Amino acid sequence: MNLDLRIPMGLMFLLVGLILTIFGMVTNGSEIYLRSGGTNVNIGWGLVLLIFGAIMFTLGRRNQRRLAKEPQKPQEPGAVRRGH
């Protein structure tokens, strides 16, 4: 498979982390954080997810670039395979 999962997964967590962090910054000090014991979990956890997503995305891209540089394996012949 040429699609490295870390790319879309990293991207998703990056975006989710970004959304949570921005929302957390906007609502800082709001009463909605009474439920979580006063801590702004959106900022905290948003940053954690942002970092995680960024790491995954970078690893995925690095792997993809490394595979792209390697000499391509010869393609399988296009003949149809019968089920065995």
Partner 1 sequence: MTHTSLTAVDWLIMLLYFVFVLGIGFALKRYMKTSKDFFQAGRALPAWICGLAFISANLGAQEVIGMGASGAKYGLATSHFYWIGAIPAMIFVGIFMMPFYYGSKARSVPEFLRLRFDEKTRALNACSFAVMTVFSSGISMYAMARLIQTLHVFDSIFLSAGLPLGYIFHLSIILSAIIVLGYIFLGGLTSAIYNEVLQFFLIIAGFLPLVLIGLRNVGGWSGLKASLPSAYTHSWQGMTHANTNPLGVEWFGLAMGLGFVLSFGYWCTDFLVIQTAMATDTQENARRVPLIAAIPKMFFPFLVILPGLLAIAATTPKEVTTQRVEANGAIVHTITFPTEAEAKGKGLVPAKTDPLTGKIVLDASGHPLLDYDLAIPSMLLHYFPTGILGLGLTALLASFMSGMAGNVTAFNTVWTYDLYQSYIHKGGTDKHYLAMGRWATVGGIILSMATAYAATGFNNIMHHRGPPASRPDPAHRSPPRPPRRLDPRHSQLPQRHGPELLDRHLGLLHQLHCLHPGQPHGQTQTRVRARRPRPLPDPKTRDGPSAVVAPPRSPGRPADRHGSNSEHHLPLESAVFSDL
Residues 46-65 that bind partner 1 (CB under 8 A): 46, 49, 52
Question: Smallest distance from the beta carbon of 30 to partner 1, in angstroms?
Answer: 8
User: Per the structure block, which two tokens stand in for 36?
Assistant: 């979580």
Considering only residues 65, 69, 73, 81, which one is a binding residue for partner 1 as defined by CB under 8 A? 81
Residue pair 40/28 in contact (Cβ under 8 Å)? The answer is: yes
Residue 2: partners with Cβ closer than 8 Å, 6 or more residues away: 64, 67
Distance between CA atoms of 22 and 10, rounded to whole angstroms? Answer: 18
Q: Under the rule (CB under 8 A), what is the footprint of partner 1?
A: 1-3, 5, 8-9, 11-13, 15-16, 19-20, 23-24, 27, 31-33, 35-37, 39, 41-42, 45-46, 49, 52, 80-83
